[in-house]
A and B are shown apart, each in its own frame.
Chain A
C-alpha cells in the first residue's frame, strides 16, 4: 500500500507502523464522573468495520509523524491522510 503522507507525499506502507482505530485520539477526561467506565471503553473497545475506517499509522521509518488515515478496509482505498496532531488540534477548537 501507498500512504499519501501530508508532508512527504506517497510513501510505502512498509515505512509505517499500524496502531488501529483513530478513536484512540479521544482520550477521556480523567476527572469527569464515570471516568473509569469511559477509560474501559477507550482502552478495550474498538470498531473493526468492513468499509471506511479512520486509523492511526506511525511513520516510524520516516519523519515520525502519527497520521490519521481514512481507509476502506475492504478495498484498501485510502481516502485521506492527515497529521494526527492537526486532527487533534482541530477537534479541540
Chain B
C-alpha cells in the first residue's frame, strides 16, 4: 500500500474492486487509477504496437495508456480510461492487448521486432503481392488491431437525450469556471456549469494552494453550495462538453450512471444539446512530457499527475512506500511537484532540471542543467539515468514525474476553423482568432494558468459575455490566491539513440518522427497519418505538441511554421450508444400503423414494411401452408366476389381554394381544371426534368375542393413538392393544401359484389351505375350518420370503390364490412394480392415508376397536355425523352409454370445478348391465379407494336432465360367493361 495522508477520499467508505481477477480495496472518491496506484499496482496494460508494459501517465481524461476493459457481460466496455473511471463497490476491470497474463504478454515479441514496425510500416509492407491483401494481410491486421474487445451483446442500458437553453454555458468547473459561473449566476443569468469530473474544482482539487488561507477545496465547496442555491444555475458534473456546433449549439454527454455498478432505474448516459447565447471555455490545460530513452515504463508519469494523485487521492505511484520519487522538468512547475510530494511525506530523490540556473524551492536536491537519459525496470520503473555535465549515473527510484509544460485545452476554440496561436513566452498554443462565435476561453485554457490569474480571468470572461448580452454583472470578491512561478525552458526531448516515446498510445517514438521527416512526410497532417501520431482515444492530447517540436527541430523551422494541430469533435470519446440517444431497435425507425392494424393482427395477417408503414401482406387461413395459397385465394375472391384492403397508406392531400383547379393543372401533366364536380380522374405528375414522378387520383368534391392521392412511398415527397409549387412558384394562386393521409382511413372494396356490399352500409345513397358511375366520387354518410367519402375507382380492374371514414372509425368500418359481406364471400386481402391484381390489370406502380420512366413509356404520352403548362411539360418534350420507343407491355411465360424474374432483360429471340441488343427489362412479375400462369410487366422497345411476338427474357445472374409472349399489359378485361358495370 502506498496511500498517503489527507486527500479528497472518504476513508469511511471503503470500496472493493478487482483488477485482472485480483481483489483490491479503494475508497469513495477514488478513480480506478488512483485506487490501483494506492495499492501499489503500476502495470495496467500493454502498448498498442510493441506490447510494452504500461502504467498510468495522467490523472484525467487525456490518459493515453491506462485503458482497461470495465464491467462484465453485456456491459463490458473496452478502452475505458482508468483515470476517469470512478470507483464503485464491486467494480471489475481487466487489462487489454495482451496474450497470456499481463506481466508475461506473449505478444511482447513485437517489441524485439520493432525495427520493422517503424512509421509507415503498413503502407510499405502490405502493398504487395496484391493478392495477399484480402486473404492474409487484412484478416491478420484486423485481428491485431484495436485494444479492447467488445462483448458482442446488445447494450442492456437505456440512454436519453435532452435539450438545454442558457445565457451562459461554462465549460469546466475549476478556478476560472467557478469564478465565471459565480459572476454570471449572481447576475441572474441562466447558467449551465458543466464539468467532466464527478467533483467540481478542477485543478484546485489537485493542488496544495490556499484560497483565503484555507485549502482550495473549502472555497470550491462554498461556491458549489451558493451556485446550487441559485435557481438560475444548473450544475452538471460528470458532463463533458465534447463539441461546438453552429449558432451556439454545444454537444455534451452526461454520464448519469457510469459510476454505479448498474444504472438501476436511471439512464446510463444522456446526450445534451445545449443552446447557449455565450460560452466560457474554462477547460484547463494538459501537461506534456519530455521524451527520453525508455520513457514509457510504468511509474513514469506527468509530474502534474503525480502531484494530483498525491494531493487529491493520497496515492503515490511507487511499488513500495519507501521508494524514492524523482522529477524531470524544464521549468518551475516540476519544483512545485517536488515541494508538494515532500509535504505529503514522500521520499524525493531530487529534481532534474534542464536549466543550468535551476535552484531548489525546498529541501530536495537539484540536478541543474541535467537530463534523464534512460530508465530500467522490466514491468515498472526501478532506476533512472541522470546525465549532468557529460557524466551519467544510475539512481534507484520508484516513480518519475516529467514536467514539460502545459498546453491549454483550447480544443473547442478550434472547432469552427479557429486557428490556435503560438505564444512564445508560454511555449504553447493559445486560442487564436476566429473559432466559434460567442465562445470565450478563460483561465488555463487561455494560457492563464496561475490560480489567482485563472480566478480573475474567469470573472473577466463572464463579465464580457454578460455585457454582450446586456446583463448587468455585479462585482464579485475573489478569494486571496497566489500565482506560482511558471518559467520554463524550450526543451522538447532528450536526444539519444534509443527509443524515446512521443505518443504512448500509438507507440510513436522520436525516431518515427525523424523517419517521417526523412521520408518527406513533413506537414503535420502527413506526420499524423504516416506515424499514427495523435490518433485513437486520446487524440494526442499529451503528444501532439512534442511531436511538432521535434519536427520543427528537424526542419529548422519554428513550431508555428511547422504546423498547428487543430481539433474536431469530440473532445473525448463519446459512445455510439449515447449518440443514438436510446433510438435503438424499433425506436430507431418507428412504424406507422394503419387504422385496421389491430384488426388485421387479430385475423393472423402477415405484415410487411412499406416505407414506414406496416401493411397486411396476406391473410393466411387454416390449412394454408404457403403464402401463394393465401394470395391466390384472395385474388380469386376479388375477381369473383368482393375483397377488402386497407389503402390508408396512400398519400392524401386536400386542395382547396378558388384557384385549386388551376393549381392542379400546373401540378399534373394532364388537365384537372376541367374535371366535373363529383368525378375522379387519374393523374400523372412529372418531375421538372420531364420524367414521370408519381401517380394517383384526383377527385373533385366541390367547386373549390379537390382531394388528390399519391403513392404510399412518395406521400411526403409529393406533398413537399406541392407546397413548393404553391409557395415558391405560384404564390399568387388562391389555394391551400393540407395532408390528410392520417386523418382518413381508406378501404378498397373491390369485386363484382362490391356494390351489393356497400349498399348495405350507405345511408340511402344511390349506388346505381347511372347515379354513381365509374370514376364518380361523393361525400355521404354511412352506418346511420358517419361522414364518409366514396370514390368509384379501381386498382384491380374490377367493379370497385374506395371508401374513406375518419381514421378512428377505420377499424369499426372494416369489422362492419366483414359482417355485412359474410354471405357475399367477402375476403380481406393484403399487399401481395394488391400487387397481383394490379399486374393482371397492367397498372403501373413503384417498379414501373423508377425515376427514369417517361409518360410515353407508360403509354400515357397523350396524357401530357400540350394545351397548358405543367411541371415537367417543357422538358418532357426534349430530344431523347420524347423519342423513347420503349413501351409498357405484358409478358406471358410460354411455359406458364416458369416465372419471368423481375429484372430480366429482353432480347429478340436468337439475338446475341449484349448491351447493344438489349430491348428492355421486366419490371414486375407474379403468378396470376386468374390466368393460371406466370405473367409480367416489362418495358420493351416498340413494345406496343410487337404484340404476339416471342422474346427472350434473360436472367444471366442466375444463368436462366426463358421465352415469353408479348401481350397487352391489360391481362384482365382489356376493354374495361368490369370497371364500368
Chain A contact residues, CB within 8 Å of chain B: 1-2, 13, 17, 19, 24-25, 27-28, 30-31, 35-36, 39-40, 42-44, 56, 58, 60, 64-66, 75-76, 78, 83-85, 88-89, 92
A2 touches B249 (CB 8 A): yes
A65 touches B727 (CB 8 A): yes
A76 touches B724 (CB 8 A): no
- Identify 15 residue pairs between A and B in the complex whose beta-carbon atoms are under 8 Å apart, listed by A's number: A2-B246, A17-B720, A27-B688, A28-B874, A36-B874, A36-B877, A36-B878, A40-B875, A43-B875, A58-B724, A60-B720, A64-B723, A66-B724, A85-B727, A92-B732
CA distance A42 to B247 in the complex (A): 32
The residue in chain B whose Cβ has the minimal distance to the Cβ of A2 is: B247
Residues in A neighbouring B444, C-beta threshold 8 A: none
Cβ of B729 < 8 Å from any Cβ of A? yes
Interface string of B868-879 (1 = CB under 8 A from A): 010001110110
CA distance A85 to B417 in the complex (A): 35
Q: A1-B247, A76-B247 are in contact. Are A85 and B275 (CB under 8 A)?
A: no
B732 touches A89 (CB 8 A): yes
The residue in chain B whose Cβ has the minimal distance to the Cβ of A30 is: B869
Q: A43-B688, A58-B720, A64-B723 are in contact. Are A36 and B275 (CB under 8 A)?
A: no
Nearest-Cβ distance from residue A10 to partner chain B, whole angstroms: 8
Nearest-Cβ distance from residue A52 to partner chain B, whole angstroms: 16
Q: A64-B723, A75-B416 are in contact. Are A24 and B728 (CB under 8 A)?
A: yes
Q: A58-B724, A64-B723 are in contact. Are A85 and B731 (CB under 8 A)?
A: yes
The 8 Å CB contact of A39, one of B247, B248, B688, is B688
Cβ of B689 < 8 Å from any Cβ of A? yes
CA distance A39 to B875 in the complex (A): 7
A42 touches B688 (CB 8 A): yes
A84 touches B874 (CB 8 A): no
The 8 Å CB contact of B728, one of A31, A42, A43, A85, is A85
Nearest-Cβ distance from residue B788 to partner chain A, whole angstroms: 27
Nearest-Cβ distance from residue A1 to partner chain B, whole angstroms: 4
Q: Which of B710-757 contact A (CB under 8 A)?
A: 716, 720, 723-724, 726-729, 731-732
B728 touches A66 (CB 8 A): yes
Residues in A neighbouring B728, C-beta threshold 8 A: 24-25, 56, 66, 84-85, 88
Q: A39-B875, A43-B875 are in contact. Are A78 and B247 (CB under 8 A)?
A: yes
Interface string of B784-820 (1 = CB under 8 A from A): 0000000000000000000000000000000000000
Residues in B neighbouring A78, C-beta threshold 8 A: 247
B723 touches A66 (CB 8 A): yes
Residues in A neighbouring B874, C-beta threshold 8 A: 28, 30, 35-36, 39
Majority-rule SS of A interface residues: mixed
The residue in chain A whose Cβ has the minimal distance to the Cβ of B728 is: A84
The residue in chain A whose Cβ has the minimal distance to the Cβ of B725 is: A27
Chain B contact residues, CB within 8 Å of chain A: 245-249, 275, 416-417, 688-689, 716, 720, 723-724, 726-729, 731-732, 869, 873-875, 877-878
Residues in B neighbouring A66, C-beta threshold 8 A: 723-724, 727-728
Nearest-Cβ distance from residue B364 to partner chain A, whole angstroms: 52
A30 touches B873 (CB 8 A): yes
Nearest-Cβ distance from residue B373 to partner chain A, whole angstroms: 49
B727 touches A27 (CB 8 A): no
CA distance A76 to B247 in the complex (A): 8
Q: A43-B688, A76-B247 are in contact. Are A58 and B875 (CB under 8 A)?
A: no
A88 touches B246 (CB 8 A): no
CA distance A40 to B246 in the complex (A): 35
Nearest-Cβ distance from residue B469 to partner chain A, whole angstroms: 15
The 8 Å CB contact of B731, one of A24, A76, A88, is A88
Considering residues A25, A42, A56, A64, which has the most beta carbons from chain B within 10 angstroms of its beta carbon?
A64
A2 touches B729 (CB 8 A): no
CA distance A31 to B885 in the complex (A): 26
Considering residues B248, B689, B874, B877, which has the most beta carbons from chain A within 10 angstroms of its beta carbon?
B874
The residue in chain A whose Cβ has the minimal distance to the Cβ of B717 is: A17
CA distance A89 to B878 in the complex (A): 30
A83 touches B248 (CB 8 A): no
Residues in B neighbouring A76, C-beta threshold 8 A: 246-247
Residues in B neighbouring A27, C-beta threshold 8 A: 688, 729
Nearest-Cβ distance from residue A41 to partner chain B, whole angstroms: 11
Nearest-Cβ distance from residue B686 to partner chain A, whole angstroms: 11
Q: A2-B246, A39-B875 are in contact. Are A83 and B727 (CB under 8 A)?
A: yes
CA distance A24 to B720 in the complex (A): 14
Residues in B neighbouring A28, C-beta threshold 8 A: 874
Residues in A neighbouring B873, C-beta threshold 8 A: 30
The residue in chain B whose Cβ has the minimal distance to the Cβ of A13 is: B246
Considering residues B724, B728, B878, which has the most beta carbons from chain A within 10 angstroms of its beta carbon?
B728
CA distance A31 to B869 in the complex (A): 8
Residues in B neighbouring A30, C-beta threshold 8 A: 869, 873-874
Residues in A neighbouring B247, C-beta threshold 8 A: 1-2, 76, 78
- Closest 3 pairs (CB-CB, A-B): A85-B731, A2-B247, A1-B246
Nearest-Cβ distance from residue A39 to partner chain B, whole angstroms: 5
CA distance A15 to B932 in the complex (A): 51
Residues in B neighbouring A85, C-beta threshold 8 A: 726-728, 731
Other A-B pairs, 17, CB within 8 Å; known A1-B246, A66-B724: A2-B246, A17-B720, A19-B724, A36-B877, A39-B874, A40-B878, A43-B875, A44-B689, A66-B723, A66-B728, A75-B416, A75-B417, A76-B247, A84-B727, A84-B728, A85-B727, A89-B732
The residue in chain B whose Cβ has the minimal distance to the Cβ of A66 is: B727
Nearest-Cβ distance from residue A6 to partner chain B, whole angstroms: 13
Considering residues B247, B716, B727, B877, which has the most beta carbons from chain A within 10 angstroms of its beta carbon?
B727
CA distance A19 to B723 in the complex (A): 13
Nearest-Cβ distance from residue A32 to partner chain B, whole angstroms: 10
The residue in chain B whose Cβ has the minimal distance to the Cβ of A64 is: B723
B727 touches A88 (CB 8 A): yes
Residues in B neighbouring A1, C-beta threshold 8 A: 245-247, 249
Residues in A neighbouring B716, C-beta threshold 8 A: 60
Residues in B neighbouring A44, C-beta threshold 8 A: 689
Nearest-Cβ distance from residue A55 to partner chain B, whole angstroms: 12
CA distance A43 to B689 in the complex (A): 6
Considering residues A40, A76, A84, which has the most beta carbons from chain B within 10 angstroms of its beta carbon?
A84
CA distance A30 to B877 in the complex (A): 12
Nearest-Cβ distance from residue B414 to partner chain A, whole angstroms: 14
Residues in A neighbouring B727, C-beta threshold 8 A: 65-66, 83-85, 88
CA distance A60 to B727 in the complex (A): 13
Residues in A neighbouring B723, C-beta threshold 8 A: 58, 64, 66
CA distance A13 to B601 in the complex (A): 38
Q: A1-B246, A36-B875, A39-B688 are in contact. Are A88 and B869 (CB under 8 A)?
A: no
CA distance A70 to B145 in the complex (A): 46
Nearest-Cβ distance from residue B864 to partner chain A, whole angstroms: 13
The residue in chain B whose Cβ has the minimal distance to the Cβ of A87 is: B728
CA distance A89 to B246 in the complex (A): 31
CA distance A2 to B873 in the complex (A): 37
Residues in B neighbouring A43, C-beta threshold 8 A: 688-689, 875
Residues in B neighbouring A40, C-beta threshold 8 A: 875, 878
Residues in A neighbouring B275, C-beta threshold 8 A: 2
CA distance A56 to B877 in the complex (A): 28
Residues in B neighbouring A13, C-beta threshold 8 A: 246
CA distance A17 to B721 in the complex (A): 12
Nearest-Cβ distance from residue B676 to partner chain A, whole angstroms: 27
Q: A30-B873, A39-B875, A64-B723 are in contact. Are A2 and B732 (CB under 8 A)?
A: no
Nearest-Cβ distance from residue A82 to partner chain B, whole angstroms: 11
Nearest-Cβ distance from residue A7 to partner chain B, whole angstroms: 13
B731 touches A89 (CB 8 A): yes
CA distance A85 to B726 in the complex (A): 8
CA distance A30 to B729 in the complex (A): 13
The residue in chain A whose Cβ has the minimal distance to the Cβ of B875 is: A39
CA distance A76 to B248 in the complex (A): 12
Nearest-Cβ distance from residue B653 to partner chain A, whole angstroms: 12
B732 touches A25 (CB 8 A): no
Residues in A neighbouring B869, C-beta threshold 8 A: 30-31
Residues in B neighbouring A2, C-beta threshold 8 A: 246-249, 275
